[in-house]
Amino acid sequence: MPVTTNDLRNGMALDLPEGLFSVVEFQHVKPGKGGAFVRTKLKNLRTQAVIERTFRADERVEQAVIDKREMQLLYRDGSDYVFMDASSYEQLQVVAQVLGDATNYLKDGDSVVMEIYGEEVVAVELPAAVELVVADTEPGLQGDRVSGARKAAVLETGLSVSVPLFVSTGDRVKVDTRTGEYLTRV
């Protein structure tokens, strides 16, 4: 659906010849002489690369309508992940490369919001934090209580995080999905 650059808003998705982009920032500029223009910062939804681009004022661009659907992870099929739409019960098979780092936080039964453009999954929105079980970590030694001391732990999804010494194998921990850091034991 065509819109003009005067209608741009943060978060709006655009289908440009260079690819599918989301508007991160925009600024209308009216210089003393010459025509007005719009300076933008755009994020590629497929590669996550950020570019800067300048448009003429009133230039027509194609707005991309991105469908956000709540999906539940049913199971893994080899390297693919099979999701079910929460409202229509349709199943969708997604390759691990499309999910990117989200695979470190997903386990069967988890719900996510998928951003879909046409038939293509372009992004996955995870909750801010997830609870995962510690699959493997070294035992903490009695009396080894140095303040702030950490050790490595491998979680049920294969993600490796740094946890405090008191966390042991089998414990449930909360992990921040934006930074991949340990938050608390549950």
Whether pLDDT at 2 is above 70: yes
How far apart CA 29 and CA 90 sit, in angstroms, is 46
pTM of the model: 0.72
Coil, strand, or helix at residue 103? helix
Assess contact for 66 and 38: CB atoms under 8 A.
no
In tens, the pLDDT along 123-182 reads: 888 888 888 888 888 886 655 666 677 888 888 888 888 888 888 888 899 998 888 888
Number of H helices, E strands in the chain: 1, 16
Tell me the pairing of strands 150-155 and 129-137: antiparallel
Mean pLDDT, the chain, rounded, equals 86
Give the closest residue to 26 by CA, choosing from 8, 12, 14: 8
Domains in the chain, CATH or no CATH each? 2-62 (2.30.30.30), 67-125 (2.40.50.140), 129-185 (2.40.50.140)
For 117, the enclosing helix (H) or strand (E) is strand 111-117
N residues, the chain = 186
